[in-house]
Amino acid sequence: MAKPILIANWKNHPGSLSEAGTLLRQLSRNSRLYKRLSLFIAPPLPYLGTVSLRTRNFASLATQDIPAIFQGTHTGMVTSDILKSFGVRLVILGHSECRALGETSESVSQKVKIALRSGIVPLVCVGETSRDQDGEHFEFLRDELKLSLASLNRKADTSKLVVAYEPVWAIGKSARDAIVPADLKQSVIFIRKVLTDMFGRKTAEHIPILYGGSVEPANAGVLLDETGIRGFLVGHASLHAKSLGAIAESLI
Ligand code: PGA
């Protein structure tokens, strides 16, 4: 059985390298615990080197985006091959905060291909902005997932693909506002069904589905209870060593 996956999405925090250093020092005290799962830390780009050096024995490096270009000369871009050479192993793609600034599912799909070409695992985020009684959000979810993975055909190498279900309405709040396990379970079944339609049952059942959106120590345990998820994508709680530790405990 593969290890549970925990992704720490630091976004644009902590605000300075010295604060990042303090957080890394605190995290390393829990290295024994983190070695029992697949922990990825996605820091702001300038901290990559430091994070890599200081988490070497208990975490892998991730990044929060890559450009939708593979080759050529592009001012201002840090391309996937450069990131890979720094040890980046996973990229968060299609995060709702990027989509809110214009990222489309079409460009996510391009980036998925580029990540795989560079040998980086694409973690593709999908999630509805609101839920409704008539279940229309499922249609949205299906379209977003299909378009974001359109570059992969049925025979594509999906062994490295990870999907994160992140309902936009639940991001950046508190455990009280997160999704309830019954609804999470329903969404995971639905996502699995769409993946099955796209890639066939055998392939689809091996694609890990994570949950993200206000995961905190208070709700991590219940969200795992028979919902079918294989781990978490954690934002604000990943900036507090104690909270991340407690979430990791719930995963093992
Ligand atoms: P949150 O963020 O845990 O702060 O809700 C999750 C995310 O945006 O990936």
Q: What distance in angstroms lies between residue 155's CA and the mean position of ligand 1's atoms?
A: 32
Pocket test for ligand 1, best of 174, 233, 240, 243 (most atoms within 8 A of CB): 233
Q: What is the mean pLDDT of residues 3-25?
A: 98
Length of the chain: 252
Q: What pLDDT does 96 receive?
A: 97
Q: Which two tokens stand for residue 103?
A: 């990222």
**How far is CA 211 from each of CA 7, 126, 154, rounded to the nearest angstrom?**
10, 10, 24
Asked if pLDDT for residue 155 goes beyond 80, the answer is no
Contacts of 121 (CB under 8 A, 6+ apart): 89, 90, 91, 115, 160, 161, 162
> How far is residue 119's CA from residue 42's CA, in Å, rounded to a whole number?
17
Q: Which residue owns the Cα nearest ligand 1 atom 6?
A: 235
Give the CA radius of gyration of the chain.
17
Weakest mean pLDDT among 6-20, 86-100, 104-118, 125-139: 125-139
Q: Which residue owns the Cα nearest ligand 1 atom 8?
A: 235
> How far is residue 61's CA from residue 66's CA, in Å, rounded to a whole number?
14
> Do 96 and 103 meet the contact criterion of CB atoms below 8 Å apart?
no
pLDDT tens digit string along 30-46?
Answer: 999 999 999 999 999 99
Asked if pLDDT for residue 72 goes beyond 90, the answer is no
Q: What pLDDT does 133 receive?
A: 82
Asked if pLDDT for residue 237 goes beyond 80, the answer is yes
Pocket test for ligand 1, best of 10, 234, 239 (most atoms within 8 A of CB): 234
Q: Which residue owns the Cα nearest ligand 1 atom 9?
A: 235
Any idea which residue has 């890559």 for tokens? 66
Q: What pLDDT does 132 receive?
A: 84
Percent of the chain surpassing pLDDT 70: 100
Residue 9 phi/psi, 5-degree rounding, is -95, 100
The catalytically annotated residue of 103, 128, 144, 166 is 166
Q: Which residue owns the Cα nearest ligand 1 atom 3?
A: 235
Q: What distance in angstroms lies between residue 64's CA and the mean position of ligand 1's atoms?
A: 12
Q: Which two tokens stand for residue 21?
A: 């250093």
Catalytic site includes residue 240: no
Asked if pLDDT for residue 7 goes beyond 80, the answer is yes
Q: Write the DSSP assignment of 8-32 as a string of letters.
A: EE-TT-SSSHHHHHHHHHHHHTTHH
> Do 77 and 69 meet the contact criterion of CB atoms below 8 Å apart?
yes
Q: What pLDDT does 154 receive?
A: 74
Q: What is the mean pLDDT of residues 58-82?
A: 95
Weakest mean pLDDT among 95-99, 151-155, 171-175, 238-242: 151-155
Asked if pLDDT for residue 122 goes beyond 90, the answer is yes
Q: Write the DSSP assignment of 213-229 as a string of letters.
A: SS--HHHHHHHHTTS--
Percent of the chain surpassing pLDDT 90: 91
Contacts of 132 (CB under 8 A, 6+ apart): none
Ligand 1 atom closest to the Cα of residue 236 is 4
Asked if pLDDT for residue 177 goes beyond 90, the answer is no
Catalytic site includes residue 95: yes
| pTM greater than 0.85 | yes
> How far is residue 80's CA from residue 45's CA, in Å, rounded to a whole number?
12
Q: Residues with Cβ within 6 A of ligand 1? A: 9, 166, 171-172, 212-215, 233-237
Q: Which residue owns the Cα nearest ligand 1 atom 1?
A: 235
Contacts of 59 (CB under 8 A, 6+ apart): 8, 27, 34, 39, 40, 41, 51
Q: What is the mean pLDDT of residues 213-219?
A: 96
Q: What pLDDT does 208 receive?
A: 97
